[in-house]
Amino acid sequence: MTGPRAGGAPEPHDGPGAHDGPGADGAPAGAGGRPLLEMRGITKTFPGVKALSDVRLTVRRGEIHAVCGENGAGKSTLMKVLSGVHPHGSYEGEILFDGEPVAFRDIRASEQRGIVIIHQELALVPYLSIAENIFLGNEQTRRGVIDWNGTQRSAARLLARVGLREKPATPVADLGVGKQQLVEIAKALSKEVRLLILDEPTAALNDEDSRALLGLIGELRETGIACILISHKLNEVRRIADTVTILRDGRTIETLPVRTAPDAEPEVSEDRIIRGMVGRDLDHRFPDRTAYEGEDAGTVALRVTGWTVRHPVDHQRTVVDDVSLTVRRGEIVGVAGLMGAGRTELAMSVFGRSYGQYVAGAVEVDGRPADTRTVPAAVAAGIAYVTEDRKRYGLNLIDTVHRNVSLASLPHLARHGIVDEHEERRVAERYRSSMNIKTPTVFEEVGRLSGGNQQKVVLSKWIHAGPEVLILDEPTRGIDVGAKYEIYTVVDRLAAQGKAVLFISSELPELLGMCDRIYTMAAGRLTGEVSRAEATQEVLMRQMTMDGSRGSS
């Protein structure tokens, strides 16, 4: 038995029809019965902004229901209303769960009814064990004292259910992101989940971990657990979802059936979903390239030779091993690799040696040796790095748009050591317009912007610094297709101006659509280099899975 449900709430098996299995006709479980969840006329207003307007959502038992929309469409706000983060009384409309009106005052109240949300930023304590994390806030007790033996046994059963072989006593910090996601799901199962909400669950996962997680979600469907899946990866939506609801500008646009049975082929195309999300057809996922025609076109702007870096803690472990590469002016060069291949470690170590222990290697910019021993030195040498983790390393979330835009170029905006605030504001306004940053004012706190607009602020910051070489690490992670297209347009414009772009991405279609050449990495080494004409997903995947010791350099 797992621990007692918080607050003594009734077990989820109480009541008619709970946890129905798949229907006899092969339709999603409970699809023909009473809805498990109904959200009617949900309207949520923040000061000066209507985030949700008359939104409707219906989810049935045993259904995987995807919610799609551009950043800022209202997806996260809707889930915060459902889970009690935005408590009853702070929004208009009604929520029915299992046919009964509910009024959640906080997250604990929604969890008592079996609604559990797993956010994109996982809520695990890294220095506690797996078992301690699973039952954190829902501790197994006996006579008022934590029953550690019972906790370990219950955790082991839950880990087996989600397919995780680690011991319950293993610290969460020792797990990769994919396994941490499974711990989160085990934690949800410990709370007798009936409706599981997953917010971008595969955004930080490699292909193998993504397939495993989606497979587990499918298995949960067979037990009658309903799931709301928020994802920008439309191929995954088509692969796993039964139904998709599309939000745009805080409104419900439409709800579409994806498939008639769990094993049936999807009936909705990605283009059809995109049309609902952005309100128009995207004839091309990637903008047409404009070639750079300067006198120095084709000359090498960035040359990295013999770059070798060891792990920052385990100095016996080499994470970047004798890597050599070039990027020419006006060229977009991709770097592909599975998680752990060393792509980010390469980028961060080249940019001011901000990761790991430098061992060997040299960097040249425009044919001259570049001092990259510190971040300021790398910036002075003409190199900029757009991190994959914009919230932790790319932005000051509690500061304004205009302050973030100027962060990397304050010396250019200063007079006699004092920042010219009027010029700082004018620069930010210029980028707000040219980058189409959707914000009511440049004095808006960056943390309040959508992911796509935050990414545009990061790009603006580095573009204004005037680099010759831009290293972009997962520049479109966690943003929608419309915002992706805008980011692609910016990157193409930079290449057309003669900038050299090193483009790291986990999405192979993105690399194939954007890059002139693509390097592949495995185990810290380069395993190949492919031209745009020769590159396919199959070729890249084959080189990404090679033994790094056999690759080319």
More confident: 492 or 234: 492
pLDDT tens digits along 184-216: 889 888 988 999 998 888 876 767 778 888 888
Structure confidence at residue 280 (pLDDT): 60
Bridge partners (DSSP) of residue 304 are 325, 363
In three-state secondary structure terms, 352 is: coil
More confident: 491 or 338: 491
pLDDT tens digits along 16-63: 333 333 333 333 433 446 799 999 999 999 876 788 999 999 999 999
DSSP code per residue over 483-517:
HHHHHHHHHHHHHHTT-EEEEE-S-HHHHHHH-SE
Quick check: 140 pLDDT over 60? yes
Q: What mean pLDDT, rounded, does the chain reach?
A: 86
Quick check: 349 pLDDT over 60? yes
Structure confidence at residue 204 (pLDDT): 67
Q: How far apart are CA 386 and CA 461, in angstroms?
A: 9
Per-residue pLDDT averaged across 376-401, rounded? 91
Instruction: Enumerate residues 6+ apart whose C-beta is below 8 A from 316.
Output: 310
Q: How far apart are CA 454 and CA 437, in angstroms?
A: 8
CB half-sphere exposure, 323, CA atoms < 13 A: 36
Structure confidence at residue 163 (pLDDT): 85
Q: How far apart are CA 194 and CA 185, in angstroms?
A: 12
Instruction: Enumerate residues 6+ apart whose C-beta is below 8 A from 266.
Output: 238, 239, 258, 259
- Model-level pTM? 0.63
Structure confidence at residue 458 (pLDDT): 92
The residue extents of the domains of the chain are 119-190
Report yes or no: 452 and 72 within 8 Å, Cβ to Cβ: yes
Per-residue pLDDT averaged across 54-78, rounded? 90
Report yes or no: 468 and 499 within 8 Å, Cβ to Cβ: yes
End-to-end alpha carbon distance in the chain: 54
Matching residue, tokens 């297709």:
481
Q: What is the DSSP letter of 135?
A: T
Per-residue pLDDT averaged across 290-314, rounded? 92
Structure confidence at residue 283 (pLDDT): 59
The continuous run of DSSP H or E covering 550 comes out as: none
Report yes or no: 124 and 183 within 8 Å, Cβ to Cβ: yes
Per-residue pLDDT averaged across 411-440, rounded? 88
Structure confidence at residue 33 (pLDDT): 60
DSSP code per residue over 361-425:
EEEEETTEE---SSHHHHHHTTEEEE-S-IIIII--TTSBHHHHHHGGGGGGGEETTEE-HHHHH
Sign of dihedral through CA atoms 174, 176, 180, 182?
negative
pLDDT tens digits along 262-277: 777 888 888 888 888 8
More confident: 503 or 407: 503
pLDDT tens digits along 114-139: 999 988 777 889 889 999 999 998 88
DSSP code per residue over 57-95:
EEE-TT-EEEEE--TTSSHHHHHHHHHTSS-TTSSEEEE
Per-residue pLDDT averaged across 97-101, rounded? 94
Structure confidence at residue 54 (pLDDT): 95
Phi/psi zone of residue 261: left (φ > 0), alpha (ψ -120 to 50 degrees), beta?
Answer: beta
Report yes or no: 230 and 200 within 8 Å, Cβ to Cβ: yes
Quick check: 160 pLDDT over 70? yes
Quick check: 536 pLDDT over 70? yes
In three-state secondary structure terms, 136 is: coil
Per-residue pLDDT averaged across 420-448, rounded? 90
Report yes or no: 43 and 91 within 8 Å, Cβ to Cβ: yes
Quick check: 489 pLDDT over 70? yes
Per-residue pLDDT averaged across 312-332, rounded? 93
Percent share of the chain, pLDDT over 90: 50
